[in-house]
Structure 1
Amino acid sequence: MNGFIAFTKKELCESLRTYKLIILGIVFLLLGIMSPLTAKLMPELIGSFLPEGMTMSIAEPTAMDSWMQFFKNVPQIGLVVTVILFSAMISGELSRGTLVNVLTKGLCRSSVILAKFLAALLTFTAAYVLCFAACLGYTVLYWHDPVSLLPLAVFALWAFGILLIASLLLGGVLFRSGYGALLFTGGFTVCLFLLNFFPQVQKFSPLRLAADNVSLLSGELAASDFAIPFVICGLLLIVFLWAAVSLFNRKQI
């Protein structure tokens, strides 16, 4: 346990030294600020692009518009940046040979994988909470109408982000390269999108956690519709981590 804690601290310190935490924090903070500002300024922006003399009736923006921007920007930008930044968390160690010293000193191989996952989880969570807090603060400042089921929608997107981090770990162990980890996670995501074309599969897919958040907020979907995707997401997370640990235990360093 002491080795696991020490290696986790080492990973967190490395996130600071390599500016991962800073970059991720800045990106997510900007996304959190941009979402309500974009919703607030959208009518004026649309009006400025209309030809002279032409008018268009545009509804006043609401808090829902702000959260629509949030659930559009974070998956399309925030999660992509997260995946890129953490793509080399295994391959970098393997290519530099830095794991040999810690493993020969008695650190369990499973602790390496789990510590890297925990450090990435904490870094991503910190940036995500910062993004949510900024968006919530500006949304409350501009609008006072409540949005139902917001905590569940926000938690669902966070859970999908954690699943992507676990897939990066498995991809890094499988292919020993950052590009391989990216391709594995990209392929996994593409498969989820392809399966989403089948209505029978769509309601079970963990992709719902990142794609149908607005439908949950608008009432098109109920909280119960997210129960099975949460379970599938949790099972895939366990399978990815178990596979990464099992393969890493047998891999030659």
Structure 2
Amino acid sequence: MTGFGVLLRKEWREHIRNFKVLWIPLVFIIFGVLEPITNHFLPEIMKSVGNMPEGMDFQWPEFRGEDIFASLLGQYQFIGILIIVLAFMGTISGERKNGTATLLYVRPLSFLAYFLSKWIIVNALVLGSACLGFMASWYYIDILFSAVDVGSIFAFIATYSLWLIFVVTVVLALSAWLPTGGAAGLAIVITLIYQVIDSLIGAYWAVSPWKLATYATYWFQADTDMSDLWMSAGVTVVVIIVLILFGIFMSKRNAAKTTV
């Protein structure tokens, strides 16, 4: 793979220049901190602004630490995925449009190295951000709620990380195939809207990449059958590999469309 190390450094420096290495982790950390704090003080907030009738006492459920992790997962499933799509939808198509790719394509470039360098750096940034968010949330969950088994937390994060890798691969493959707007629209349909479809009629199938986020919470439940999780993980890995090959092919095929 020609110049793979150079391409990796180029991608990392680009994300430093556009401050993605700063604001993306910051967003995940903020939501990770806000989720346990908000849930802890929610009863007091509702008493202050809820305008409940005098003498009425609403009994709030007792949240466990595992419940807060599941609640945070719901936040990341919408806001986090939307951030990934919007931040990286033009990773490849944007370079073709603004002519930056011309400086690369005139050199003896390996499109395998070109696509994988972007895939590795974007995944490192996204997974690092999500892990920082979960770690920040874990700190406050441990203080404000109940302690959660360490092994279950890391298994939970690892399962969700595979889903995030799938999302990143979808976004980059579509960016290699379509213009930026088209890549963003189709990525939102595949990663966000299809989640809604899966939640509505997904009872008819048990194995799907879109179920990984749900299956990640199984690690917090004792004596749960994990067979569907492992099968979904295996299918997701296969789909990721296929999408990577598709992204490499489309990067090479669309190289001629680069603005000069």
TM-score (norm 1): 0.90
Q: Distance in 1 between matches of 2:204 and 2:10?
A: 45
Contact 1:47 1:56 in 2 (8 A): no
Structure-2 separation of matches of 1:162 and 1:84: 16
Partner of 1:29: 29
**Other-structure match for 2:101:** 99
Q: Which residue matches 2:247?
A: 244
Cα offset, 1:195, TM superposition: 4.8
Distance 1:240 1:192, change over 3 A: farther
Q: Which has the higher contact order (CA 8 A, sep 6+)?
A: 2
Unaligned regions of 5+ residues in structure 2, if any? Answer: none
**Helix, strand or coil for the counterpart of 1:207?**
helix
User: 1:93-152, CA deviations, whole angstroms, 9 ceiling, x for partnerless residues?
Assistant: 001111222222212122111111111011112211211110111112223433473322
CA distance in 2, matches of 1:81, 1:59: 31
Q: How many residues align?
A: 251
User: Which residue, 234, 238, 250 being the options, matches 1:235?
Assistant: 238
Q: Which runs of 5+ in 1 are unaligned?
A: none
Matched, 1:161 2:178: no
1:45 is aligned to 45
1:35-184 matches, cutoff 5 A: 35-48=35-48, 49=50, 50-147=52-149, 149-175=152-178, 177-184=179-186
- C-alpha spacing 1:106/1:74, structure 2 compared with 1 (3 Å): same
Residue by residue, what CA displacement relative to the aligned partner does 1:173-193 show, whole Å, maximum 9, x if unpaired?
Answer: 221x22111122122233454
Partners of 2:16 and 2:143 in 1: CA distance: 32
Alpha-carbon offset, residue 59 of structure 1:
3.1
Distance 1:248 1:95 in 2: 13
The answer to whether the 8 Å contact 2:115/2:248 transfers is yes
Letter in 1 for 2:177: L
Q: Distance in 2 between matches of 1:250 and 1:178?
A: 16
Percent identity at matched positions? 21
Give the TM-score taking structure 2 as reference length: 0.88
Residue range with higher mean Cα deviation, 90-99 or 100-109? 100-109
Alpha-carbon separation, structure 2, partners of 1:142 and 1:3 = 49
Give the deviation of 1:69 after TM superposition. 2.2
